[in-house]
Structures are given as C-alpha cells and as structure tokens.
Amino acid sequence: MPNGEHQTALEPHHGAGRYVAVWVALCALTVGTLLASRLSLGPPWHLLVALAIAAAKAGLVALFFMHLWDQPGVNRLVFATSLVFVALLIGLVLLDSATRFPLANPPNERTLRFEPPSFETHVQPGEREQGEPGAIGRPPARE
C-alpha cells in the first residue's frame, strides 16, 4: 500500500474491489425494482417495494461510495438529521391531506365523484336534541 509510509493516512483505505461489489449490488437492485414493478402488486405494495429497494440502493451509495461506513463522526449525524426532516415534512403533510374533510382538498378523483351532501349529513352528533339540526357550521340564513 503506497501510503503506508505516510503517518497521516486518515483512515483505512479499502481496495477498489469493494466499489465494484457495491456497483454490482446496485445494478442487481435496479433490475429487481424493474421486475417488481412489472409484477403488478397491490396498490400499497408496489409503491412500498419500490421505495424499499430505492432506500437500500441509497443506503449502499451513502455508506460505501460516500464513505459514511468508514468515516465515523458528525457527518453521519448531519445526514441522518436531514433524513429526519425529510420524514417529518413528507409524513406530516401527507397526514394532513389524508385527514382532511374531502371537500377541503382541491378537486380530485374522489371529490369529483363526491355526492353533494344531503342536508342531514351536516347534523353534528348530539345536535338534533338542541332543536335546530344542522345549524353548526352553516352560514347564517340571509333574509
């Protein structure tokens, strides 16, 4: 190893074979995700499988090509923190969309098929006993 004579070699320097092995694994995973997408799995699974394979490939690139495996320390923390914010942003925004009253989302496949709500669907729980069903949330009647 030519840098053996230098005392300031920063960290263990692995051979080129490891990069080729990672490249083979990345190619195999790409073929895998291509084949999995042709299987027509069910609605949640095709997306989950594709994203899991993409995450595995990204992990290989980050750990070996980007040397996070060899270089301990704060770089890992920085990258992991950015991933936490990715999960927060996408996760919370999706939760927001998924838990909205349908008509609060912009017009889409589901809302365009949405039957106009009848008068009764606006009745809140327990409201009927108070005399005027459907009053909560309805704009005041104009004379």
Q: How far is the CB of 138 from another protein (least distance, A)?
A: 27
41, 43, 44, 49: CA torsion to nearest 10: 30
Closer of 37 and 122 to another protein (Cβ) = 37
Q: How far is the CB of 101 from another protein (least distance, A)?
A: 14
Q: How far is the CB of 52 from another protein (least distance, A)?
A: 10
Coil, strand or helix at 117: coil
Residue type, 18: R
Q: Looking up tokens 């005027």, which residue turns up?
A: 132
Which residues have C-beta within 8 Å of that of residue 8, sequence separation ≥ 6? none
Residues that bind another protein (CB under 8 A): 2-3, 6, 8-10, 13, 16, 19-20, 22-23, 26-27, 30, 33-34, 37, 43, 46-47, 50-51, 53-54, 57-58, 61-62, 64-67, 71, 73-75, 78-79, 81-83, 85-86, 89-90, 93-94, 97-98, 105-110, 112
Closer of 49 and 123 to another protein (Cβ) = 49
C-alpha to C-alpha distances, 125 to 94, 104, 121, nearest whole angstrom: 27, 21, 10
